Structure 1
Amino acid sequence: MEVLGHRGSRVPGPENTVEAVDAALRAGADGVEIDVRRSADGDLVCVHDARLSRPAGRAIVRQPTEALRARGIPLLDEILDVWAGRGRLICEIKNQPGQPDFDAPRERTARALAERLRARGWTGPRPTVADLDAGAGGITVSSFDWFAIEAL
């Protein structure tokens, strides 16, 4: 059985933050799942919802990175730095029809994620079951958008 921190840990929270990811891994989770979206600047950020709750309804994809960071929304790179191979990492690309950041079939978010992982040297053959059993961290990318998976 594998225990994953969904968006990190709710304690200390909030979800999808550096603190939440670190807390889940320190508590003994085998890995974490995070949500990945794109800012107006094209940076990858970790946040579940497509829109900010306040000011009401502002789409993440239409907000500059610095405005999102001021609200506590971390860059993907910050999450990757704290994760640093400490177990499994599941990056869910949030890209669904009807949401303001839906970009199929261009898949800018998926392509940007692939580039970030490639730049860090984290692409290549899948880890084997023996690798994972030995505690090697692996990255899985998921999405409800099959175009995103195809792009990866």
Structure 2
Amino acid sequence: MHGYVELHGHRGARGLRPENTLPGLAFALELGVDALEFDVAMSADGELVLTHDLIVSPVTSADTGTAEPGDPMFPYVGKPIMGLTLPQLRTLDVGVRLPQRPDDVFALTQVPLPDTRMPTLGAVLGLIDALGADRVRLNVELKSDPTRPDLSADPRRFTELVVKELDRHDRLSRAAILSFDWRILEIAKPLIAERYALIERDTMTPAWMNGLDLADFGADFGADFGADFGADFGAGIPAAARAAGATTLSPDRELVDETLMTGASRVGLPVAVWTVNDPEEAARLIDMGVSGIVTDYPDRMRRLWQSRGLPLPAPVTPLRPVDA
């Protein structure tokens, strides 16, 4: 028997609808998820917008025209989010995936929604209020790269603005702050109760981990860091995340093994693993004791939950069709 395992919709439901969009988030809620995960960055004029990339992506975004005649910043695709204003970003069509590789599986499974615009965090919170999705936790990932300060907002100002917007919509008790940039976890600690330490192989360095070194937490990297880690490697990650101020550890699925799970249990951190799209893999991870599965395909996972007798999050009934 397993306890409650949470189902998290990744960027809404990225495998089914355009990521980080109002219709995509609404679709995930209509399917039924425990937590709705999405990404936030800051624009040049200090607006909080939904985007996974700190540079406007040619995969998820397409230029449609200029915000003003003769705008020297145009085209906007390929420009830093932090270098563009909200009016410029709102000209982008973010409703059609434009794959750069033929093996882009999301382009095959994602329903295109042309003329969808990049939403603000405030618009998302307003939509969720309107839908009455009060029980769904909002997992807000703050996109910040400490190795690229030219692309990243000041972490304190950024974190405080996100928390202020969540508070304005009475959402602080039903939200979590997530980041690979662990400086944000420290800043968020006195501001919000739930904080997720995101981690993958590329971010297991002091630069990303707010100065923490995994070697100081008993991590054995073995002879070749990045390939075969030593036996005690996984135990160091949860201990470091706890020290950084996390209340949940959220690792890349490739990092999850019995050692990591034991280490997480030892320091009292639940583990929400990303991004898991294969139900067989999800079943194995559930058997290992993870507390949450982050997925691009909530529909697949709901079928798995049902087959295993796990409690299913209730779908949110839409009040009316959601416009982009």
Category of TM-score, reference length = shorter chain: 0.7 to 0.9
Higher mean displacement: 6-15 or 72-81: 6-15
Match of 2:136? 87
Cα distance in structure 1, aligned partners of 2:176 and 2:147: 25
Deviation at 1:86, TM superposition (A): 4.7
- The reply on whether 1:9 has 2:9 as its aligned counterpart is no
| Match runs of 1:62-81 below 5 Å | 62-71=83-92, 72-81=117-126
Cα distance in structure 1, aligned partners of 2:47 and 2:135: 24
Instruction: Please tell me the root mean square deviation across aligned C-alpha atoms, in Å.
Output: 1.9
Deviation at 1:82, TM superposition (A): 1.9
The one-letter amino acid paired with 2:12 is G
**Relative to 1, partners in 2 of residues 1:53 and 1:144: Cα closer, same or farther, differing over 3 Å?**
closer
Match of 2:175? 139
Cα distance in structure 1, aligned partners of 2:140 and 2:162: 9
- The reply on whether 1:59 has 2:95 as its aligned counterpart is no
CA offsets 1:90-126 (integer angstroms, 9 cap, x no match): 000011123443245x522111101112222333xx5
Paired residue total: 138
TM-score (norm 1): 0.81
Percent sequence identity is: 34
Match of 2:151? 101
Cα distance in structure 2, aligned partners of 1:86 and 1:21: 15
| Residue ranges of structure 1 left out of the alignment (5+ in a row) | 127-137
Specify the SS of the correspondent of 1:70. Answer: coil
Cα distance in structure 1, aligned partners of 2:11 and 2:175: 14
| Match runs of 1:95-134 below 5 Å | 95-99=144-148, 100-104=150-154, 106-123=155-172
Match of 2:28? 24
Cα distance in structure 1, aligned partners of 2:49 and 2:153: 16
**Relative to 1, partners in 2 of residues 1:42 and 1:103: Cα closer, same or farther, differing over 3 Å?**
closer
| Contact 1:25/1:86 (8 A) holds in 2 | no
Deviation at 1:145, TM superposition (A): 1.6
TM-score (norm 2): 0.40
- The reply on whether 1:33 has 2:37 as its aligned counterpart is yes
Higher mean displacement: 21-30 or 9-18: 9-18
Specify the SS of the correspondent of 2:119. Answer: coil
Cα distance in structure 1, aligned partners of 2:13 and 2:170: 27
| Contact 1:96/1:145 (8 A) holds in 2 | yes
Cα distance in structure 1, aligned partners of 2:79 and 2:51: 13
The one-letter amino acid paired with 2:146 is P
Runs of 4+ in 1 over 4 A off after TM superposition: none
Specify the SS of the correspondent of 1:37. Answer: strand
CA offsets 1:73-96 (integer angstroms, 9 cap, x no match): 110111112223251110000111
| Contact 2:11/2:25 (8 A) holds in 1 | yes
Deviation at 1:3, TM superposition (A): 1.0
